[in-house]
Amino acid sequence: MQTLLYNIPGFEALSESLAEKLGIKKGTYQLKRFTNNEAQIIINDNVKGSKCLVLGTNAPPDRQMIELMFLCHTLKNDGAKKISAILPYLAYTRQDRKEAQKGLAMDWFSKAFKISGISEVITVDIHSRLAKKMFKIPLVSLSPAEIFADEIKKNSFVDATIIAPDEGAINRCKELKKCLGDKSQISYFEKKRNGQIISAAFKGKVGKRAVIVDDILDTGGTLIVACQELKKLGVEEIIIMVTHGLFTNDSWKELWNLGVKKIYTTDTLPEIRIKVPPEVSILQIAPIIEKYVRQKY
């Protein structure tokens, strides 16, 4: 059965690298716009009976999610046998709790992916178990722990305390500690949000150096509060490791005033390369996706 790899705009580099390393043929399509801007997908390949891998994201701007889902839907209608969506950053996972009067976008996406013909989603470091549970189709969340562990070893941060900035990050810290062979108790913050105000109470032990690990750096609010508290506890050097760097607005820059020496993120969102200054180290996510796809396809 032939396998074809498609990507939405922005994901060309990751797509080229996966196609080359895995020996998968790239598929192509056009997005045609009607005069009133309505979109239509035109596929350039015969996909009947094929497996299709579709690389992209459902993150804003909204046209990305429309293009992704219209593309998958067209591939399915045209006879594709299986469609696997590779979405390194799966957006909207923070809407994972049912609350009165509030939208539950994750639930909507899981249904929308299904009706778009997607058979499975391959992502990196999904926000929560709750978000994963909500999925109506198989979902694989790949851990970036090995990539971060390599960096910790390379840069001699092994003596630093690994810290979760909230309880949701405890499991990803455990995975990282496992890669490092660190059997010590987890240190974490109990985070509370009151509207925009975040407060955090530290639980555990910490020395002079700390590595804070989280899935998302959005405005930086969570990490700023954690760093302020660590500073009060006498921590002198902080390293930040976040899988998905959204870096929305400039408030995260306050981190440099709070003992943060280095921020690591990954390129799950390709635009990160033009968004952040060179002081932020961007690690490549391609090897872990490649490893998974090689084993499965």
Q: Which stretch binds ligand R5P (CB under 6 A): 75-83, 96-104, 138-146, 209-217?
A: 209-217
Task: Give the contacts of 218 (CB within 8 A, at least 6 positions apart).
Answer: 246, 247, 248
Q: Say whether residue 96 binds ligand R5P (CB under 6 A).
A: no
Task: Give the contacts of 207 (CB within 8 A, at least 6 positions apart).
Answer: 159, 160, 161, 235
Q: Say whether residue 166 binds ligand R5P (CB under 6 A).
A: yes
Q: Say whether residue 218 binds ligand R5P (CB under 6 A).
A: yes
Question: Of 222, 243, 265, 268, which one interacts with ligand R5P (CB under 6 A)?
Answer: 222
Least distance (Å) from ligand R5P to the CB of residue 235?
Answer: 19
Nearer to ligand R5P, 56 or 220 (CB): 220
Residue (of 226, 161, 218) closest to 192 by Cα position: 226
Q: Which stretch binds ligand R5P (CB under 6 A): 117-125, 215-223, 230-238, 272-280?
A: 215-223
Least distance (Å) from ligand R5P to the CB of residue 226?
Answer: 9
Angle among Cα 12, 122, 265 to the nearest 5 degrees reads 65
Question: Of 125, 215, 229, 267, which one interacts with ligand R5P (CB under 6 A)?
Answer: 215
- Binding residues for ligand R5P (CB under 6 A): 94, 165-166, 168, 214-222
